[in-house]
Amino acid sequence: MTPSESAADEAHPSVVAVIVAYNRKDLLVEALAALRAQTLQPTAVVVIDNHSDDGSAETAREAWPEIDVVRLARNTGGAGGFATGIAVAIARHEPDWVWVMDDDTIPTPTALEELLKAADRPGVVLAGSRVVWTDGLDHPMNTPRRKPFVSRQEATDATELGVLPVRSSSFVSMLVSAARVREAGLPIADYFIWNDDFEFSTRMLRRGRGLYVPSSVVVHKTTARADTDADPGARFFFEVRNKIWLMVFSHGLNPIEKLVYIGATLLRWGRTIRRSHQRRFLLTQLRRGLIAGFGSRPRLNADALSDLGAVTEAVVRVEAPARRGT
């Protein structure tokens, strides 16, 4: 079944799947094949080629000619890729839901069907899959954060459904309400990498319910089954800068939550540096990140993505309601 054929099935809400790809064309083909094999097909598929140099865009078109492939003029990072992908999905296809993932995310056949089944509840604006590594064990990089202070009724409902109320979710298989994105805005492109999905999902969930859906399973084919405390190298700069931006400028967390996460973050940074084999280098990245985090702020997406032509227009169009509400 093709996405266009699935669109004719009015029994289900419309879903656009978004894959952000960068120089992993073999995995991209595998991810696309997994989308074709879904028991419930997406209405459309958008592939954002983040300026790959391995022919990812051409490979995607050959593998599935009718999908919407967008090759960006430059690498916008994961954050920019998801911001542009969600914008294109909503502006061009007007779905009820957007299902986002990286090109190394391989959904099992019932992944989308299980997400939609769980999300079909009042107030739910986001649902995330169980993410496993190639050995079938839960991937520590993509562990959702439980929602604190859940009411007894919400906890009971979640238990009966076999889901878990969450406060954040990962871009490795996240189903998000298009209407909620229009209200609250896209991922922040200037984050480039790291913490972009945490900031985005917590912002979506300030007004709405989020669920972790264990029955929806995807395989995250990273090179290793490592968690966020693994030695990050130069990327530690983005972890530090973006976490400061999140705590200072984002509306995703309330003040009490920010205090809790600041404490958890400081402990994680200390643990990362202590375990690293390149401590001096990480301390340099820590200093750079602190200076950048406190000395700058993320730009509006319309400015950060202003050079992308029709993609920029999609970003501006989708975020217009959120900008009017600020």
Same domain, 144 and 237: no
Helix (H, G, I), strand (E, B) or coil at 15: strand
Residue 215 structural domain: 3-227+296-324
The confidence score (pLDDT) of residue 4 equals 46
The confidence score (pLDDT) of residue 125 equals 96
Same domain, 176 and 66: yes
| In contact, 246 and 292? CB cutoff 8 Å | no
The confidence score (pLDDT) of residue 326 equals 53
Phi first, then psi: give them for residue 204, nearest 5 degrees.
-60, -35
Same domain, 120 and 267: no
Mean pLDDT, the chain cut into blocks of 10 residues (326 residues total)? 47 93 95 96 96 94 93 96 98 97 96 96 94 88 78 81 92 96 97 96 94 96 74 92 96 93 93 92 96 97 96 96 69
Site of tokens 């593998």 = 63
The confidence score (pLDDT) of residue 7 equals 42
Indicate the residue type of 116: L
Same domain, 144 and 92: yes
* Contacts for 206 with CB less than 8 Å, ≥ 6 apart: 184, 251, 252, 254
The CATH number given to whatever domain includes residue 138 is 3.90.550.10
Question: Residue 285 and residue 25: Cα distance in Å, rounded?
Answer: 31
The confidence score (pLDDT) of residue 228 equals 61
Question: Residue 183 and residue 321: Cα distance in Å, rounded?
Answer: 6
Same domain, 126 and 242: no
Q: How many domains does the chain have?
A: 2
Same domain, 198 and 234: no
Same domain, 26 and 141: yes
| In contact, 43 and 6? CB cutoff 8 Å | yes
Same domain, 290 and 318: no
Question: Residue 298 and residue 89: Cα distance in Å, rounded?
Answer: 23
The confidence score (pLDDT) of residue 104 equals 94
Same domain, 144 and 263: no
Same domain, 146 and 237: no
Same domain, 207 and 286: no
DSSP 8-class letter at 46: E
Same domain, 135 and 214: yes
